[in-house]
Amino acid sequence: MQLGCGFICLALLSGTALAQTTADSQAALNNWGHEHLICAAYNAAVSECMLTNPSGKAGSDAYSEVSDVMFQRGYQASKAAGLSDKAIMAKAEIAMKEMMSTIEQSCANISVLFVQHAVSCKSLGENPGERFEQLKGGHSR
């Protein structure tokens, strides 16, 4: 009987550990998706501000493309984490509103966004898998 309880207890503990691992992965996926949505908003804001400069069209297009990729990754990860379309779009909208508020609705202040987001968003864009592993391990930025 002792052996039977040991096996049952081990099975229950393994199931609990698996559930925790799944919950940790889901939380990491949600956070990873959210970071992508923030970086999509950052790149979109920079793209829009570059259009205010007559020679900024090429740079604007490049930032716009990165924004699209970041949004798609963020959307897909957020869906996989269980978020609804409405929740994902709300996160994206909040991120964009925060970006515009940070620069006080003026592209003259875009350097504030560069300081806050350029390095982390570049890193996320270039090494998305590494960032996901960091989040799974419980490491924030």
Q: Is the pLDDT of residue 27 over 90?
A: yes
Q: Please report, to the nearest 10 degrees, the dihedral formed by the alpha carbons of residues 101, 103, 106, 111 taken in order.
A: -160
pLDDT at 10: 39
Query: Over the chain, what is the mean pLDDT?
Result: 86
119, burial (CB in 10 Å: exposed 0-12, middle 13-18, buried 19+): exposed
- Match 């956070």 to its residue by tokens: 31
pLDDT digits (tens, 9 = 90+) for 37-90: 999 999 999 999 999 888 889 999 999 999 999 999 999 999 999 999 999 999
- Match 């984490």 to its residue by tokens: 81
pLDDT at 138: 76
136, burial (CB in 10 Å: exposed 0-12, middle 13-18, buried 19+): middle
pLDDT at 119: 98
pLDDT at 140: 64
Rounded Cα gap, residues 105 and 93, in angstroms: 15
Angle between helices 2-50 and 111-126 (to 10 degrees): 130
pLDDT at 5: 39
Say if CB 86 and CB 59 are below 8 A apart: no
Rg, C-alpha atoms of the chain = 20
**What is the model's pTM?**
0.82
